[in-house]
């Protein structure tokens, strides 16, 4: 089993409901303003981006959406061209396994899919810290659409503040994703 680096305390759950950017219901419109690299967090988000003709540089999928298995067409739409890596990450935590694989995927020359055994929902947060400024992190906002988080130093500081309030080894998390502007 992989090691938990941080876990989400109940007190922070409400803060995660606020989107980190504008919400789109149309992938083509989202892609008009997205910059590369693109990290897609979630099966349905990845499906919509691929359906619009764009393979994310990094996709994190777990086969689940809103606590239900994704439809076969969603599961099958994830690019077969991308290299796949399986990582462990239970719900409500960020593991060493996921964080290390995320950074390697961002640095890879070719698209990668991280198949998460557990849950990928929190992965958008460290992705914001791990990608270069100007990159895009896209994740689902349940029953609303896709959030486009365009990475800026201000957004990274906001996300770093949120992650710093999680339980566990936050300094280790920042180190694993290469974020040095913390605190």
Q: Does residue 65 belong to any structural domain of this protein?
A: yes
Residue 74 CA: distances (Å) to CA of 46, 48, 84, 140, 175: 8, 9, 16, 14, 34
Percent of the chain with pLDDT over 70: 89
Binding site residue list: 43-45, 62, 120, 143
Residue 78 has pLDDT above 80, yes or no: no
Number of domains in the chain: 1
Q: Does residue 125 belong to any structural domain of this protein?
A: yes
**Token couple for 85:** 């890596």
Q: What is the pTM of this model?
A: 0.92
Q: Does residue 12 belong to any structural domain of this protein?
A: no
Q: Does residue 14 belong to any structural domain of this protein?
A: no
pLDDT of residue 183: 47
Binding site residue list for GTP: 43-45, 62, 120, 143
pLDDT in tens, 106-159: 999 999 999 999 899 899 999 999 999 999 999 999 889 999 999 999 999 999
- The boundaries of the domain holding residue 159 are 21-170
Q: Does residue 10 belong to any structural domain of this protein?
A: no
Residue 57 has pLDDT above 90, yes or no: yes
Residue 27 phi, psi (nearest 5): -65, -35
């Amino acid at each position: 089993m992989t090691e938990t680096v941080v876990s989400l305390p109940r007190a922070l759950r409400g803060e995660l409901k606020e989107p980190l950017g504008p919400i789109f219901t149309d992938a083509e419109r989202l892609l008009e303003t997205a910059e590369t690299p693109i990290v897609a967090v979630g099966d349905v988000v990845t499906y919509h981006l691929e359906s619009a003709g764009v393979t994310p540089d990094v996709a994190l999928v777990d086969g689940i959406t809103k606590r239900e298995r994704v439809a076969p067409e969603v599961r099958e739409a994830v690019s077969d061209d991308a290299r796949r890596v399986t990582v462990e990450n239970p719900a409500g935590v960020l593991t060493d396994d996921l964080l290390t694989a995320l950074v390697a995927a961002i640095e890879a020359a070719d698209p990668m899919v991280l198949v998460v055994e557990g849950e990928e929902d929190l992965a958008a947060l460290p992705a914001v810290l791990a990608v270069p400024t100007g990159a895009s992190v896209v994740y689902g906002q349940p029953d609303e659409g896709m959030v486009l988080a365009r990475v800026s130093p201000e957004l990274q500081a906001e996300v770093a503040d949120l992650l710093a309030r999680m339980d566990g080894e936050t300094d280790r998390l920042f180190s694993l994703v290469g974020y040095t502007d913390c605190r």
